[in-house]
Amino acid sequence: MGMLLRISRDEWVERFFSDGRYYTSLRRRWEKGLKAFFLKKTSVGDSVIGYGVLDGFMSREGWLAAGGKPYDEHPWNTVLIFKHLVRFPRPVPVKDLGLDERLRGNRLHGYRIGDGLSDRILELAGYEKVNP
C-alpha cells in the first residue's frame, strides 16, 4: 500500500528532501513502512518527483514537546518522518500512471495507491521495488 503526497512549493521540496520531514494536516491512520510518493507541479503537469518510506510520525503537540523545531509555514497536525528518500532525476508525469482523469491537483493529495501502481511508478522512474 502506498500514498500520494503533494508538495506545493519549490523551497519545501528542497527542505523535505534534505531533512525527511513532511508536515501535514491529513488525518490518516499512519503506519510505519508506508511507501509515499511525492507530487509536484512541473512543466508537464503534476508529476511524481520521488518517494520515501515512513519511519515514524508524531502529533504537533508531541513533536513540540519532544523539542522538535516549530514549523509555521502552513497549518499541520502531524509530522511524518521518512527514511529511504529518493528524488527522481526525471519526474514521472501523473498522466502516464493511468489514473482517473478527474484526479488532478489537490485531489491527488492523500490518495491511497496499491502495490501495483507503486511498482509501476518505480518502473517508470527507473528504480527497483523497495521493501521497507
Whether 132 is in a domain gets the answer: no
Q: What is the pLDDT of residue 129?
A: 59
Q: Is residue 131 part of a domain?
A: no
| 128 has a pLDDT exceeding 70 | no
pLDDT attached to residue 114:
87
Number of domains the chain is built from: 1
Which SS3 state, helix, strand or coil, does residue 46 take?
strand
Q: Report the distance separating Cα 50 and Cα 47, nearest Å.
A: 9
Question: What CATH code is carried by the domain that includes residue 24?
Answer: 2.30.130.30
Q: Is residue 130 part of a domain?
A: no
Burial of 127 (0-12, 13-18, 19+ CB in 10 A): middle
pLDDT digits (tens, 9 = 90+) for 87-101: 999 999 988 887 766
What average pLDDT does this structure show over 49-69? 89
Q: Which residues lie closer than 8 Å to 16 by C-beta, 6 or more apart?
A: 7, 22, 38
Residue 118 in any domain: the answer is yes
**What pLDDT score does 80 carry?**
93
Q: Which residue range(s) make up the domain with 45?
A: 2-125
Tell me what the pLDDT averaged over the chain comes to: 86
